Chain A
Amino acid sequence: MDRRFHANDIDAGELEMIRVIGPVARSTLLEARRSRILWLVAAMALASLGLAGFLGQVAIIESTEVQVAVVAAVLRGCAVFLTAAFVAIAMVREFNDKVFELMLAGPWPRGVYLLGKFVGFSTTALVLAVLLSLPLAALVPAARLWPWTLSLACELVIVAAMSLFCVITFTHVVAALATVLGFYLLGRSIAAIQVMAAAAEASTRWTDRAADWLVAAVAVLLPRFDLMTRADWLLGAFPGPAALASVLGQTAVYTLLLVAAAQFDLHRQNF
């Protein structure tokens, strides 16, 4: 790391600390590039184009709509999994190689290192969102594609932040990955769960009331992934400025919460 951050220079000020974020983020991006994730993305893009070709052959009507909806859903799932897996595995590797402890021993607050990693992971997520949207460019006009890509990028930033928080908390790949994927699935389905819970609200049993409250509380604490990156946006139902603003706002608020939670947990841990 940059020798300007020797212990003797601790009073170099916050500006110097902020400059740590850049190299940490760059090293994260470098790791993403060297981990052959781009080859995987290229393979996924090719596979999705093959899937689109297959669907185009078997669909009798609305073949383009079928292709777009299915390929978009598959790409979205792949992007989420890749992002979560990359963050979890990269961080666990840093734990195992003691790079993490080395970084914490540096003359900067823990939060600076965390922010550096977050910037690196979220930039990787943005690149993944753009690259994994490219196969859809062959099927839908750019005017429909960009809101979907923007929303996918937002979704992946939240997933990256959640993965970072989980891996700092659990320090194991399986636990972190399982939690992130569970969180994502819950975020996708919480609206449906709320609807189902509302249908039983006439019950007066305390267990039912407690379950309703629990569902409501979980819903408040989760982002609504079901309102983001919708395949029907690609089929002509343009989301509109309000929906896009809501996606951006939700991403900002939830990412702030996750980074704050990760920082809180990182400060609590003794190494």
Chain B
Amino acid sequence: MRERPIGQLPRSVVVLFVLALALQIGVGLARPQPQARAEDLPAPPSAAGLRLAALGEPAALAKVLMLYLQAFDYRAGTRVPYRDLDYDRLIGWLERILELDPPGQYPLMQASRLYAEVPDPAKTRQMLDFVYREYLKDPNRRWPWLAHATVLAKHQLKDLELALKYAQALQDHTTTPDAPLWARQMVPFILEDMNELEAAKVLIGGLIASGQVKDERDLRLLQRRLEGIEERLRAEAGAK
């Protein structure tokens, strides 16, 4: 079907269309931008309700929900993100999303790398505890997030007991060869930080002797660490 050139159209038709378009653009620009404020985050729906809403595509719904959830209380560059979020509700949402899509890594990545890194120790602990609980359900897939949680517990919260608990869990439950040695063997280094030098020495010595460490650089690093511990032990003994 051939079309007439716009120049041949009645002027009133063109003018009406342009005016109507301008009016809609004006209305659209005047509308307030939708925002996901922290207080707008509702309680998560039930898992059964979400499965029903997914219409047989739970993984797809989980991805979309995750993208939607991360927008709450986030305004880059304007203020501290996630500060005002209700973490009980947030964790409820993350749990539901993981139930919909258990292999999905996004919720735990968000939990350990974004929601746990807020300047509020109580919220950080809450989120780290969530990561720990979820890690135990699938250690070989979710170890990276507990490893990050261990680092946060040690350096951000300065809670070495908590870091040790997470490191111990990583050591006990992670069996996949995909997990690097440092992730599975954080216990001796945390013990060293806790001044449990004897225990750290035994563990590092055992690690070197076990032959699990194949990389030359890693071996040298462990050896240096062991020597450092032994030196500290000698110094302590001398002081006594």
Q: Chain A interface (Cβ within 8 Å of chain B)? A: 109, 111, 191-192, 194-196, 198-199, 201-202, 219-222, 224, 249-250, 253-254, 256-257, 259-261, 263-264, 267-271
Are A264 and B70 within 8 A (Cβ)? no
Query: Taking the complex as formed, is B67 at the interface, i.e. its CB lies under 8 A from any CB of chain A?
Result: yes
Are B20 and A260 within 8 A (Cβ)? yes
Q: Chain B interface (Cβ within 8 Å of chain A)? A: 1-4, 6, 9-10, 13-14, 16-17, 19-21, 23-25, 27-29, 31, 33-36, 67-68, 70-71, 74-77
Instruction: Name A263's closest neighbour in chain B (CB-CB).
Output: B13
Please report the C-alpha to C-alpha distance between residue A269 and residue B71 in the assembled complex, in whole angstroms.
Answer: 45
- Given contacts A198-B33, A257-B20, A267-B10, A249 and B71 within 8 Å (CB-CB): no
Other-chain residue from B13, B28, B77 in contact with A202 (beta carbon distance below 8 A): B77
Are B9 and A195 within 8 A (Cβ)? no
Please report the C-alpha to C-alpha distance between residue A198 and residue B72 in the assembled complex, in whole angstroms.
Answer: 10
Sample 16 A-B pairs with CB under 8 A, ordered by A number: A195-B36, A195-B68, A196-B67, A198-B35, A198-B36, A199-B76, A202-B77, A220-B24, A222-B28, A260-B13, A260-B17, A264-B9, A268-B3, A268-B6, A270-B2, A271-B1
Please report the C-alpha to C-alpha distance between residue A192 and residue B34 in the assembled complex, in whole angstroms.
Answer: 8
Other-chain residue from B10, B24, B25, B74 in contact with A199 (beta carbon distance below 8 A): B74
Are B6 and A198 within 8 A (Cβ)? no
Tell me the minimal C-beta distance from B15 to chain A in angstroms.
9
Please report the C-alpha to C-alpha distance between residue A196 and residue B72 in the assembled complex, in whole angstroms.
Answer: 9
Are B24 and A254 within 8 A (Cβ)? yes
- Given contacts A220-B28, A260-B16, A268 and B4 within 8 Å (CB-CB): yes
Please report the C-alpha to C-alpha distance between residue A60 and residue B44 in the assembled complex, in whole angstroms.
Answer: 18
Please report the C-alpha to C-alpha distance between residue A191 and residue B36 in the assembled complex, in whole angstroms.
Answer: 10
Looking at chain A's contact residues, the main secondary structure is helix
Instruction: Name B3's closest neighbour in chain A (CB-CB).
Output: A268
Residue among B24, B67, B76 having the largest count of chain A Cβ atoms under 10 Å: B24
Other-chain residue from A194, A259, A268, A271 in contact with B33 (beta carbon distance below 8 A): A194
Are B28 and A219 within 8 A (Cβ)? yes
Instruction: Name B36's closest neighbour in chain A (CB-CB).
Output: A195
Q: Which residues of B are found within 8 Å of A256, using beta-carbon distances? A: 20, 23
Q: Which residues of A are found within 8 Å of B17, using beta-carbon distances? A: 257, 260-261, 263-264
Are B36 and A267 within 8 A (Cβ)? no
Q: Which residues of A are found within 8 Å of B14, using beta-carbon distances? A: 264
Other-chain residue from A202, A219, A253 in contact with B20 (beta carbon distance below 8 A): A253
Please report the C-alpha to C-alpha distance between residue A196 and residue B63 in the assembled complex, in whole angstroms.
Answer: 12
- Given contacts A194-B33, A199-B71, A257 and B28 within 8 Å (CB-CB): no
Please report the C-alpha to C-alpha distance between residue A249 and residue B27 in the assembled complex, in whole angstroms.
Answer: 9
Please report the C-alpha to C-alpha distance between residue A261 and residue B16 in the assembled complex, in whole angstroms.
Answer: 9
Are A253 and B9 within 8 A (Cβ)? no
Are B27 and A250 within 8 A (Cβ)? yes
Q: Across chains A and B, which 3 residue pairs bring their CB atoms closest together, nearest first?
A: A220-B28, A202-B76, A199-B71
Are B27 and A195 within 8 A (Cβ)? no
Residue among B6, B19, B20 having the largest count of chain A Cβ atoms under 10 Å: B20
Tell me the minimal C-beta distance from B185 to chain A in angstroms.
36
Q: Which residues of A are found within 8 Å of B9, using beta-carbon distances? A: 264, 267-268
- Given contacts A195-B34, A250-B27, A269-B3, A111 and B68 within 8 Å (CB-CB): no
Please report the C-alpha to C-alpha distance between residue A263 and residue B35 in the assembled complex, in whole angstroms.
Answer: 36
